[in-house]
Structure 1
Amino acid sequence: MAIDRIWSYAPQVGAVEGLDLTGFAVVATDGTIGHVDRQADHFGMRHLVVDTGVWVFGKSVLVPVGVVTGIDTEDRRIAVAYTRGEVKAAPRFRTDSETLDPEYLTSVGDYYHRLPPRETTTA
């Protein structure tokens, strides 16, 4: 997965322009992460802010849309290419202002880019 693609949905994912993913469950390769709290596209770096509930002590994580492997609009589920632990180990998301910080977004993209590529699955 090239670093510039980390911020764009892969064509086979089934992303629909303008589709509101708020509330969709986010599922890693080994279980549910949480649900989409909001989606954003700052500086061409499209991403999801995922509310993890109690999984990460009530914190949110930022997930670039390039790691999404499938979107099931009927079941309102989004599959991502990595494990819960890999998502949790990404640069920590603390405040909404970070979604407007190109340095923070770049560090998140760099982190996912360094992970080994995964097989594409569906939601």
Structure 2
Amino acid sequence: MRAWLEENGGAAAARLLSVYETAGVERRASVVPIEEVFAPRDFERQNDRYIDIARAAGAETARRALERAELRPADVDLVVSVSCTGFMIPAVDAYVADALGMGPRLARLPITESGCAGGVLALARAGDYL
């Protein structure tokens, strides 16, 4: 990220680097290269890319989480998904539930259009469910 910002950040590069380096974030991850994150593209192309990645990454991430927790897909009562990156109907949680065979009694709560607060909102609603 540092190298990309230094090369492409323009006048804001120093400020962006300061935020990046002092945010206290130990590890960042992205499913696409940094060049793609900031590349200009039309909404339809970006959203199609989001759908492809969200479905695959969502299912794989859920599968790994279940394995680590030593749970079966049928043990899950609620799936909360959060995104402000793209739009899809049904939401990504429906595809994840189907891919893992979570069953028809699963409750789903897709949260969209909440921006960065979506993660906190998801944790709060999941907590309400417990």
Q: TM-score range by the shorter chain?
A: under 0.3
Structure ranking higher on relative contact order (CA contacts 8 Å, 6+ apart): 1
Higher helix share: 2
Normalising to structure 1: TM-score of the pair?
0.23
